[in-house]
Structure 1
Amino acid sequence: MLTTLAIAGYRSLRELIVPLTTLNIVTGPNGSGKSNLYRALRLLAETARGELIPSLAREGGLQSTLWAGPERFSRDMLAGEQPVHGTVRKDPVSLRLGFAGDALGYAIDLGLPPPDSTSQFQLDPVVKRECIWSGPVLRPSALLVDRQGAALRTRDDEGKWTPVAQPIASFDSMVTEFADPKTAPEMIAVREQIRSWRFYDHFRTDTDAPSRRPQIGTHTPVLSNDGADFAAALQTIREIGNPVALDAAIEDAFPGCRIAVANRDGHFEVTMRQHGLLRPLKARELSDGTLRYLLLVAALLTPRPPGLLVLNEPETSLHPDLLPALARLIADASTRSQVIVVSHATRLIAALEREAVSQSIVLEKQLGATRIVGADELDIPAWKWSAR
Structure 2
Amino acid sequence: MILTLAVSGYRSLRKIIIPLDKLTIITGANGTGKSSIYKSIRLLADVAQGNVVRSLALEGGIPSTLWAGPEKFSRSMKSGQHPIEGTVRREPVSLKLGFASEDYGYAIDLGLPKSDGRSMFNLDPEIKSEAMWIGEVLKRHNVIASRAGPGVQVMQEDGARQHVLTALPSFDSMMTHAGDPKQASEILLLRERMRNWRFYDHFRTDQASKARMPQVGTRTVSLASDGSDLAAAVQTIKEIGDPEAFDDAIEDAFPGSSIKVDVKDNMFEVVMQQKGLLRPLRTSELSDGTLRYLLLVAALMTPRPPPLLVLNEPETSLHPSLLPALARLIKSVAQTTQIIVVSHAGSFVDELAMAPNSANYELKKQLGETIISDVPDQSWNWQKR
What TM-score do you get using the length of structure 1 for normalisation?
0.97
- 1:63-117 per-residue CA deviation (whole Å, 9 max, x = no partner) reads 0000001111001111222211112222111000000012110000001233424
1:84-123 map, 5 Å? 84-123=84-123
**Is the 8 Å Cα contact of residues 152 and 178 (structure 2) preserved in structure 1?**
no
CA–CA separation in structure 2 for the residues paired with 1:260 and 1:166: 55
Letter in 2 for 1:75: R
- 2:382 is aligned, of 374, 377, 385, to 385
Q: Which runs of 5+ in 1 are unaligned?
A: none
Are 2:201 and 1:201 equivalent residues in the alignment?
A: yes
Counterpart of 1:190 in structure 2 is 190
Whether contact under 8 Å (2:57, 2:123) holds in the other structure is no
Aligned residue identity for 2:351: A
CA contact (8 A) 2:237 2:301 kept: yes
Q: Which amino acid aligns with 1:145?
A: A
**Amino acid in structure 1 at the alignment position of 2:287:** S
In structure 1, what is the equivalent of residue 235 of structure 2? 235
CA distance in 2, matches of 1:61, 1:26: 26
* Cα gap change, 1:345 to 1:165, in 2 (>3 Å): closer
Partner of 1:254: 254
Number of the residue aligned with 1:144: 144
2:98 alignment partner, SS class: strand
Q: Specify the SS of the correspondent of 1:383.
A: coil
The structure 1 segments of at least 4 consecutive aligned residues displaced by more than 6 Å after TM superposition are none
Instruction: Tell me the CA shift for residue 126 of structure 1.
Output: 0.7
Q: Deviations over 1:168-227 (max 9, x none)?
A: 111111101122121111111110111110000100000101010000111011000011
Aligned partner letter, 1:169: P
Residue aligned with 1:360, SS: strand
Partner secondary structure for residue 100 of structure 1: strand
Structure 1: how far apart are the matches of 2:119 and 2:285? 55
In 2, Cα distance between equivalents of 1:297 and 1:165: 44
Give the AA of the match of 2:248. Answer: A
Correspondence list, 1:1-388, <5 A = 1-165=1-165, 167-375=167-375, 379-388=376-385
Cα distance in 1 between the residues matched to 2:295 and 2:267: 18
**Which blocks of at least 5 consecutive residues in structure 2 are unaligned?**
none
CA distance in 1, matches of 2:123, 2:282: 50
Equivalent residue letter for 1:181:
P
3-state SS of paired residue (1:85): coil
**Higher deviation after alignment, 123-132 or 286-295:** 123-132
- Give identity over the alignment, percent: 56
